[in-house]
Amino acid sequence: MPITNALTTTIERVSILDEHGNFDEKLGKGLIPDADLLKLYETMVTCRMMDEVAFKLQRSGRMGTYPQNMGQEANSLGAAYALNNDDWLVTCYRENCGLMWRGVPIDSILLHWMGDERGNAMPRPHHATPIAVPIGTQMLHATGLAWAAKYRGEKRISCTFFGDGATSEGDFHEACNFAANLDIPVIFFCQNNFWAISVPGRIQCSAPTVAQRGIAYGMPCLQVDGNDLFAVVYGMRKAIEHARTTGKPYFIEGVTYRLGDHTTADDARRYRDQAEVDAWKARDPITRLRTYMTKKGIWSDAKDAALREAAEASCMATIERCEQVEPPVRGDVFNYTFADLPADLVTQRETGHTHSLGQDPSQLPSASNAR
């Protein structure tokens, strides 16, 4: 029998605004109105300012480990902008910009990294899940949320974010397999920043693109310039239309770069060449957007200076509020676990000990029990 071709496929790559401010009018015309573009840029600058302030907080011992977002802001922001407000935004830990666009208070984000889990009580109207630090688990949550919406007959979809390193996790493959086989409307958005902490992407994935990992599950796949806000919005709208009309998943790879360390507990100078970092700094999503808006005549240096001053003031006010928040009550560990707290846990809550014989005489066994 003759040999036939089992599969032929291609993956498109989308770029609309390059690092020099050159804009593809054919692809980008009408994609983002100027009024929205100004608000989006303001959100990016505020997010970058928060990164700078949070870094100083950690270095001064006022906050724990923090993962900076700088360099990757366009990905989650473009996604949040394109999604409906009642679609699920399922993040990991480098999507502050998208969360801020959704209206999640900066206070919530900072409280989380200050070690106060009340920051993860995301306001319900925003349809955003808590920040996920474990690698890959949030993809399963996104699949479950979209499956629940489909079961209820809703047109709501979910979009989940993860890094290139997370595609080596079993959770990634389980979520993709589940979503593809059961036709669940999830957008899998991989932020390929080329580094899984200190492990380079070429070791994480030997394929030419991360996007093609979605092909194995029968998903349509697209690669976008993740430092180009317009390209992200373009790709997201394509993915959203597919997910909403077919009820099936879609895979996007946003090619971007982590300009800072993996977290404040990391020193990327130990494994990255400075020349590589400098090359990606020239492709900074904020810089290219500012260049484009300036060329278009809707932005200026004076406006930019005023915006940065306002963003810094806003971030400092947020820090002041967060540092003045009353500490959580120890009993909350018990108070929100059971509708009716069992007697032994009531005792633990009141005494502060898992076993407190000799600490609280009321817990000493009676003579009859002792026998």
Delimit the domains of the chain by residue range.
12-323, 332-370
What are the C-alpha distances in Å from 361 to residues 49, 129, 334, 348, 357?
Answer: 54, 44, 22, 13, 7
Task: Quick: pLDDT tens for 27-78.
Answer: 999 999 999 999 999 999 999 999 999 999 999 999 889 999 999 999 999 9
Residue 176 phi/psi, 5-degree rounding, is -65, -45
Q: What is the mean pLDDT of the chain?
A: 92
Q: What is the 3 state secondary structure string of the chain?
A: CCCCCCCCCCCEEECCECCCCCECHHHHCCCCCHHHHHHHHHHHHHHHHHHHHHHHHHHCCCCCCCCCCCCCHHHHHHHHHHCCCCCEEECCCCCHHHHHHHCCCHHHHHHHHCCCHHHHCCCHHHCECCCCCCCCHHHHHHHHHHHHHHHCCCCCCEEEEEECHHHHCHHHHHHHHHHHHCCCCEEEEEEECCEECCEEHHHHCCCCCCHHHHHHHCCCEEEEECCCHHHHHHHHHHHHHHHHHHCCCEEEEEECCCCCCCCCCCCHHHCCCHHHHHHHHCCCHHHHHHHHHHHHCCCCHHHHHHHHHHHHHHHHHHHHHHHCCCCCCCCHHHHCCCCCCCHHHHHHHHHCCCCCCCCCHHHCCCHHHHC
Confidence class for position 12, pLDDT limits 50, 70, 90: very high
Reply yes or no on whether the pLDDT at 132 is more than 80: yes
190 or 125: which leads in pLDDT: 190
Q: Pick one of 3.40.50.1980, 3.30.1330.10, 3.40.50.1450, 3.40.50.970 as the CATH number of 12-323.
A: 3.40.50.970
Reply yes or no on whether the pLDDT at 360 is more than 60: no
Q: What is the pTM of this model?
A: 0.90
* The pLDDT value given to residue 206: 85
Closest CA to 360 of 370, 349, 369, 351: 351
* The pLDDT value given to residue 351: 80
Confidence class for position 332, pLDDT limits 50, 70, 90: confident
